[in-house]
Structure 1
Amino acid sequence: MGVVSWIILGLIAGVIAKILMPGKDPGGCIITILLGIGGAFVGGWIGKTLFHTQLGTFFEARTWGLAILGALVILVVYRLVLGNRKHHRRD
């Protein structure tokens, strides 16, 4: 897939992950896109490592499933890291 496809996939995967895990997160659209793009990479790694499959073409269901799974993983880690910082900060 080309760079534009990764960005589009990342944007949509990030939005879907955000819908599946609603809540307050710092950052806006840019962070969602970055989490989604990172999620596509993480999803590709998860697919290759655990399921012995790789991301397919843009329109394949496994590509979207792995990208969304990866975005969810990154969103959980993102919330854990930022959640811990919030609680330890003194105002």
Structure 2
Amino acid sequence: MSFIWMIIVGLVAGLLARAIKPGSDPMGWIMTIVLGIVGAMLGGFIASLLGISADGGFTGLVFSVIGAIILLFAYEFIMNKRRV
């Protein structure tokens, strides 16, 4: 997978995760892309644990979004702990 393609998929996965998860997450475009890329890595790991091939296509995008949503919940939890 090329670097440009990874950024595009990361952006799409990050945007979808932020649209699906309720609440406001004040982060810019760069953090959304990073969220999507790291979410794709986490989603790929989860898919491999389940024995599902998520190398690309729709399945890969679904697991990328699932990973990004998990990361959004973790990010929100960490940021709320710091504010208190």
| TM-score normalised by structure 1 residue count | 0.84
| TM-score normalised by structure 2 residue count | 0.90
Q: Percent identity?
A: 35
Q: 4+ runs of 1 displaced by more than 4 Å?
A: none
Aligned to 1:75: 72
Could you tell me which runs of 5 or more consecutive residues in structure 2 were left unpaired when the two chains were aligned: none
Provide, for residues 16-41 of structure 1, a one-character-per-residue CA deviation record: whole Å limited to 9, x for no partner. 00000132223211111111110000
Aligned to 1:20: 20
Bigger helix share:
2
Residue 6 (structure 2) pairs with residue 9 (structure 1): no
Counterpart Cα distance in 2 of 1:43 and 1:36: 10
Could you tell me which runs of 5 or more consecutive residues in structure 1 were left unpaired when the two chains were aligned: none
- Residue 19 of structure 1 aligns to a residue whose secondary structure is helix
Aligned residues: 84
Aligned to 1:53: 52
CA RMSD of aligned residues (A): 1.2
Larger radius of gyration between Structure 1 and Structure 2: 1
Shift of 1:2: 1.6
Shift of 1:53: 1.9
Provide, for residues 1-26 of structure 1, a one-character-per-residue CA deviation record: whole Å limited to 9, x for no partner. 22111111110000000000132223
